[in-house]
Amino acid sequence: MKPLQVGLLGIGTVGSGTFAVLQRNREEIRRRAGRAIEIRCVADLDVARARALVGETVPVLADARAVIADPEVDVVVELIGGYGIARTLVLEAIAAGKHVVTANKALLAVHGTEIFAAARERGVVVAFEAAVAGGIPIIKALREGLTANRIEWIAGIINGTTNFILSEMRSKGLDFDVVLKEAQRLGYAEADPTFDIEGVDAAHKATIMSAIAFGIPVQFERAHVEGITQLQAVDIRYAEQLGYRIKLLGIARRREAGIELRVHPTLVPATRLIASVEGAMNAVVVQGDAVGTTLYYGKGAGSEPTASAVIADLVDLARLGTADPAHRVPHLAFQPGELAATPILPIDEVFTAFYLRLRVADQAGVLAQVTALLAAQGISIDALLQRESAEGENQTDVIILTHDTVEGRMREAIARMQDLPTVLAPIVSLRKEELA
């Protein structure tokens, strides 16, 4: 059978890994795919650097549109990134009748509805396994392996930079700013790490997973997003003493009134496997009604791990042949006409438990006042810890873990507690998930 001809747009970290793995494992890949997969041409603005990577056997072009226009190219692999030119080129490739493989989670989280509709109209496939969790095959698991299940919830460590920072803060007792500089020095964090540390990257990925899990359109603009920049080492230490670890989680949960879609630092019981995921690794937990709890773990970024996912998509496309487009696996798992208009819940309606840290005057009656205000909002206490404050004499830190409650009630309780004259500093609140 004629080899599948691939046009590669961008040959940076993931592109070079894709080229290298395809070259190294070409025979193994051919045996799996039923036909060879070949890079026909590469487009990159830095032609000299690209040519040094691919050698003289593959044409290197400065113009991505020349790759799209090549009639011999069957699949366009977009590895440019971002919302701008990448969106334009993907839509042009679809219009030209090319299948598309992309690792661009930002593009799909924001413009996925438009892109998938264009692909359906043209009868081509947009494949994106590499867009979420790098080398972990979580998209295929959600879209195909768990298709018999009603997915109840997903919780994932889906950003390696933040997980590395939190792991270092926990193990070394250092503050965020110190660890961020070290992460940048080691290459785990970009010079501008905003998308990672503010939770935006994780929210892009959580948005895509929620759409596949629950059969809803991608709705990044409705996700609640918090990063780790305000997290303090003292709270990581107190969480540890209570039997929890703090992870930046992307959470998508089905509720009767709608879908929770949120990214934020979260206390997780230390006994959960996901709590033990350290360094730059990723992990995703999926709860299905039939299968129960499943865990997917591995490298969430990097040249060859992400290339592994790109090539898995290429193998799927190589197997398609002349398959009827109406009988392909839908982009978002559910048939296009079956996507639900289930609302994404506002954060005030989220149902979760909380960690609270209050710095209070060390005097009689303070704790009674605090617990009375929580009780007035119908919030019950799960655990309580009191520790001498490092900030000065006659002060103490009161740490409270609550049972599940509606977030709006907790916000009201925090506002009232903050008004107490015995509360001496802004109250720290973090969400807690048992993941049971």
| Residues with a known catalytic role | 205
From the number of C-beta atoms within 10 Å of its C-beta (0-12, 13-18, 19+), residue 28 rates as exposed
| 314 alpha-carbon distance from chain centroid | 22
- Torsion sign, CA atoms 155, 156, 157, 159: negative
From the number of C-beta atoms within 10 Å of its C-beta (0-12, 13-18, 19+), residue 215 rates as middle
Other beta carbons within 10 Å of 102: 27
CB contact at 8 A, 136 and 260: no
Q: How far apart are the first and last CA of the chain?
A: 49
CB contact at 8 A, 111 and 84: no
How far is 201 from 215, CA to CA, in rounded Å?
21
13, 289, 319, 436 from 147: Cα distances, Å: 32, 11, 20, 21
How far is 87 from 81, CA to CA, in rounded Å?
9
How far is 66 from 58, CA to CA, in rounded Å?
14
- Both tokens of 205, joined, read 């990925």
191, 125, 149: which is closest to 327 by C-alpha? 125
Q: Is 88 helix (H, G, I), strand (E, B) or coil?
A: helix
Q: Output the CA torsion 325→150→153→376 (10° steps).
A: 140
- Both tokens of 37, joined, read 């997969």
Q: Is 400 helix (H, G, I), strand (E, B) or coil?
A: strand
| 184 alpha-carbon distance from chain centroid | 20
How far is 259 from 222, CA to CA, in rounded Å?
10
How far is 250 from 156, CA to CA, in rounded Å?
5
- Both tokens of 258, joined, read 């709608």
- Both tokens of 281, joined, read 């690794």
